[in-house]
Structure 1
């Protein structure tokens, strides 16, 4: 296999990893709210929905390990807790969200049934596929992704040609920072650290490919996959902005995507897209449940019983959470994301940087500072009755729920300056 073909195969694998059908409901809504600020919103969304996840893949290419390796420089205990939190969040939010998206886009428009019934049937099938590890899921995924991409490109193209409404006024107070936080909802940084190792190991490299050549291949594939995501996400944001006046101000995220597809493809096209999105959501849910069960199985001496029990628990959580509306699930995800996402981002960035700048002390200090300065964001959302405005006013970017950014950067710089000036192995 020539190197060009290898690069494109790797690019498609990475694109498929991050191209979650549930994520497609976010960009059109961002455009709808952004209006004339759509470009600024796109730039913010790109940081957390594309750039950070791709850097997670670069970090995996450097580590050649597992999720545990991302935090081992902090401490083994920290890394173990981090792994449990990551998998717990994946099972509790993005997996159930796929069931909710499926109900709102592919079931509710045609059948007057309860979302709980959809969730029960959905996760019963997820459990069966996870336990039987059917290859049908991977085959469906391989064919679904290119079909959905083609349909979305058609929607984007037609929406550009039929955009007579013009831009509306932005509903965002801080378009750039608000879109950065919306990028958290893709969960792609978490997807990058969880599934990235599997993707890299699974890539069919030539036997003569060296470690350096592999890293170059992954880097090129990452840029191509990132460009593909930018094309889709950016196009959907702009399409949402161009047709903002066509949507109800009370429309949910799924309704906006459905309305956009109806405007461009008609009812039949929207029906077809809804079914494909539902199937793609299903493959994502099976992947999350299977990956989490594999992790618990691995720390339980490869116990098949542990695998099945974990799959049952994950499916039960999915049934309960997945019976709620998509917008509600996105809302309840905010506290967990404000707490866990900053630490995940920091670990990704530190693992990408050269070793000489990322000693154990740097890892410990930066992660600790990130954790401390994320607390006000978490408290402000969970305990809204507690007044912390004065505290947040003292921390740069804290009012945008990004108060950890500058302190973490300063901690990184100070630690490295201390090492340079004292010549100590800090």
Structure 2
């Protein structure tokens, strides 16, 4: 296999593998226990397969995130793309990566944790991000050749040592994983919201191949599929290994994946455990943040070509730094409504785009009907979450699957089918 494809696959893995992806699987394994394999299979569907499909779809369309939204309406496409880059960029993804790196990565390393140390850490963190993201033609080399292999090696050593010397044996499942464990596993993968990030990262990976001189559309898509497959397989192996670490941790009272990995790091690495775990977290957040800054800067430069890429890198790193100093809790309060608003619509548009590849005629209403209704349901969910209007809350809660934040799913399936049928008859009428 081409060396560039392998390195690009490693780079894509590093983009996806942030702190959240590191700590979700251990907790799933810790809770699911004997049902871990089934639960992780569900997790892989929404946490790996959906993002992988997204990367392929965006590469196939070859026009970026905006082109997917343009299928509904050009104005919708622009607003959709801006919301995507705001949610994964300056308002959430970028500062969150820095905050998680600080909160978790240095939790047991720094002797003092206060607002001043957060500012100092964030300044150093974003300085590194800035210099790596500054040269897009070197990102593949910097991440794919150096940082990502280092991250994988450290995680692999931790997992292998735990597997060889497990802390306990796999027991009986508890909580939501007792019955039908695949379903909560699917929901856990859904809540990683990696599909939104995939919309941006797919543009980055396509651009990386173009920088390397690959412009033929068929070759480009083929290379993206191969790189994405490498990334997906690495994620699959890593997630299952981390879940197994959680399942074999026989210490009661651990609250989350951070506790589980910290406990096991200390157990297998001794006094250096906190340092090792801190390096893993910081590297995972750093590589993800580089990808986000690059993606947001490339999109902004496309919309405002008079401003250089390097200037946008500076802008996004500075804004990310300033927002990160607000603290993780406030960042989450700002971003959650935006993500709730955009995430279901993102999934719907990606899935329709995938279906459209195999439909021999152009889809119009198959995009418009499901996307508009999904967007409307997302607005209902936000109003319901904030309990602004009781009648609206009651309406949202009456929808099927609203209790698990999937109220959009059934209307999407129904309206997609209706839209495909309408488009088919409209196409036949034109031909007649």
CA RMSD after TM alignment: 3.4
Q: Which 10-residue stretch deviates more, 372-381 or 344-353?
A: 372-381
- The equivalent residue for 1:98 is 97
Partner Cα separation in structure 1 for residue 129 and residue 227 of structure 2: 29
Deviations, residues 98-140 of structure 1 (Å, cap 9, x unaligned): 2232223332212232343343223334554566555597665
The answer to whether residue 152 in structure 2 is matched with residue 153 in structure 1 is: no
The equivalences for 1:116-127 within 5 A come to 116-127=115-126
Partner Cα separation in structure 2 for residue 11 and residue 306 of structure 1: 28
Deviations, residues 8-36 of structure 1 (Å, cap 9, x unaligned): 34432332332224421221122223333
The equivalences for 1:322-401 within 5 A come to 323-324=327-328, 334-353=336-355, 354=357, 356=360, 359-383=363-387, 386=390, 391=395, 394-401=398-405
The answer to whether residue 227 in structure 2 is matched with residue 227 in structure 1 is: no
Q: Which 10-residue stretch deviates more, 111-120 or 64-73?
A: 111-120
The equivalences for 1:47-126 within 5 A come to 47-90=45-88, 91-126=90-125
Partner Cα separation in structure 1 for residue 271 and residue 334 of structure 2: 32
Q: Is the CA contact (8 Å cut-off) linking 2:396 and 2:402 kept in structure 1?
A: yes
Q: Is the CA contact (8 Å cut-off) linking 1:178 and 1:400 kept in structure 2?
A: no
The equivalences for 1:289-304 within 5 A come to 289-303=293-307
Q: Is the CA contact (8 Å cut-off) linking 1:296 and 1:306 kept in structure 2?
A: no
Q: Is the CA contact (8 Å cut-off) linking 1:126 and 1:285 kept in structure 2?
A: no
Q: Is the CA contact (8 Å cut-off) linking 2:15 and 2:287 kept in structure 1?
A: no
Q: Which 10-residue stretch deviates more, 396-405 or 370-379?
A: 370-379
Report the CA distance shift for 1:204/1:152 in structure 2 as closer, same or farther (over 3 A): same
Partner Cα separation in structure 1 for residue 75 and residue 317 of structure 2: 25
Report the CA distance shift for 1:87/1:6 in structure 2 as closer, same or farther (over 3 A): closer
- Report the 3-state secondary structure (helix = DSSP H, G, I; strand = E; otherwise coil) of the residue aligned with 2:104: helix
- The equivalent residue for 2:31 is 33
Partner Cα separation in structure 2 for residue 404 and residue 146 of structure 1: 39
Partner Cα separation in structure 2 for residue 14 and residue 219 of structure 1: 12
Q: Is the CA contact (8 Å cut-off) linking 2:42 and 2:185 kept in structure 1?
A: yes
Deviations, residues 183-241 of structure 1 (Å, cap 9, x unaligned): 24434212211121221231279979853343333323323321221111122123212
Report the CA distance shift for 1:44/1:357 in structure 2 as closer, same or farther (over 3 A): farther
Partner Cα separation in structure 2 for residue 10 and residue 138 of structure 1: 6
How far does residue 57 in structure 1 lie from its aligned partner after superposition?
1.1
Partner Cα separation in structure 1 for residue 77 and residue 171 of structure 2: 46
Partner Cα separation in structure 1 for residue 430 and residue 373 of structure 2: 20
- The equivalent residue for 1:8 is 6
How far does residue 413 in structure 1 lie from its aligned partner after superposition?
0.7
Q: Is the CA contact (8 Å cut-off) linking 2:91 and 2:334 kept in structure 1?
A: no
How far does residue 367 in structure 1 lie from its aligned partner after superposition?
0.6
Give TM-score, length-normalised by structure 2. 0.83
Q: Is the CA contact (8 Å cut-off) linking 1:68 and 1:79 kept in structure 2?
A: yes
Deviations, residues 63-100 of structure 1 (Å, cap 9, x unaligned): 11222112111112111111221122122223222223
Q: Is the CA contact (8 Å cut-off) linking 1:101 and 1:254 kept in structure 2?
A: no
Report the CA distance shift for 1:103/1:4 in structure 2 as closer, same or farther (over 3 A): closer
Partner Cα separation in structure 2 for residue 176 and residue 15 of structure 1: 24
- Report the 3-state secondary structure (helix = DSSP H, G, I; strand = E; otherwise coil) of the residue aligned with 1:192: helix
Partner Cα separation in structure 2 for residue 113 and residue 417 of structure 1: 62
Partner Cα separation in structure 2 for residue 102 and residue 78 of structure 1: 34
Q: Which 10-residue stretch deviates more, 229-238 or 290-299?
A: 290-299
Partner Cα separation in structure 1 for residue 352 and residue 79 of structure 2: 18
Structure 1's unaligned 5+ residue stretches are none
Partner Cα separation in structure 2 for residue 388 and residue 165 of structure 1: 48
Partner Cα separation in structure 1 for residue 214 and residue 13 of structure 2: 25
- The equivalent residue for 1:271 is 275
* Aligned counterpart for 1:262 among listed residues 247, 263, 266: 266
Partner Cα separation in structure 2 for residue 316 and residue 147 of structure 1: 29
The equivalences for 1:410-425 within 5 A come to 410-421=414-425, 423-424=428-429
Give TM-score, length-normalised by structure 1. 0.84
The answer to whether residue 312 in structure 2 is matched with residue 314 in structure 1 is: no
